[in-house]
Chains A and B, each alone.
Chain A
Amino acid sequence: EVQLVQSGAEVKKPGESLKISCKGSGYSFTSYWIGWVRQMPGKGLEWMGIIYPGDSDTRYSPSFQGQVTISADKSISTAYLQWSSLKASDTAMYYCVRHTELLWFGELLSRHFDYWGQGTLVTVSS
């Protein structure tokens, strides 16, 4: 069974650093991209970026480039999302997702998020 299990809720102060995690199991962790999605309180979904654990190739949404760092440790099947200096506006639920690409005779048919972690709530408040 494919599972993405995220680390627990965090309460931090502005300016502090944070690293949250997402552990994959039940599939070949190095063969699928892992992404991160933000959901601010009462709001919609925002795609942040993805990493390919096989070679650590990482892509960021322009909205999040420079604001966060995505990494992965394939030896323990775990992806990370980190901040060096949190702001109150980083308060949100963060989901990790498995990004699947379907190919048909070399043609890309679909990219989608087929598995989601349970979410990590990050609260930043003084």
Chain B
Amino acid sequence: DIQMTQSPSSLSASVGDRVTITCRASQSISSYLNWYQQKPGKAPKLLIYAASSLQSGVPSRFSGSGSGTDFTLTISSLQPEDFATYYCQQSYSTPRSTFGPGTKVDIK
């Protein structure tokens, strides 16, 4: 199975900060990489698909980049509603799609 890792596992940031989360796959997954945001007690929400495509309705401060094995999610200016846990997901190998362990972003 393709293993996904994320770093950091958690971070503390202030409103207005630029935040970068990294996701790495154990083998090349081309651009089959998605990012989701999950707030406590809520279902996850799709932010980015195909590594860099912004899902409809998602603010433009979110962006994704990368291909192959290394990917990045960037929040250009952190807003209060962005404090959440972020998961990457590889969809290169279905039905063996896997998620990363998550990165929790909280208030500094």
Nearest neighbor of A46 in chain B, beta-carbon distance: B99
What size tier do the contact residues of chain A reach? 20 to 34
Q: Contacts A45-B38, A110-B50 given; 11 further ones with Cβ under 8 A?
A: A37-B44, A47-B99, A49-B95, A50-B94, A60-B95, A61-B96, A102-B50, A109-B31, A109-B50, A110-B32, A111-B91
Query: In the complex, what residue of chain A is closest to B99 when comparing beta carbons?
Result: A45
Residue of B at shortest CB range from A111? B91
- Residues A112 and B49 in contact in the complex (CB < 8 Å), given A45-B44, A95-B43, A117-B43: yes
Please give the residue numbers on chain A whose beta carbons come within 8 Å of chain B beta carbons, in ascending order.
37, 44-47, 49-50, 59-62, 95, 102, 109-114, 116-119
By secondary structure, the B interface counts as loop
- Contacts across chains A and B counted by CB atoms under 8 Å: 67
Interfacial residues, chain B to chain A (CB-CB below 8 A): 1, 31-32, 34, 36, 38, 43-46, 49-50, 53, 55, 87, 89, 91, 94-102
Dominant secondary structure at the A interface: strand
User: Which of A37, A44, A60 lies in contact with B101, CB distance below 8 A?
Assistant: A44
Smallest CB gap from B92: residue in A: A111
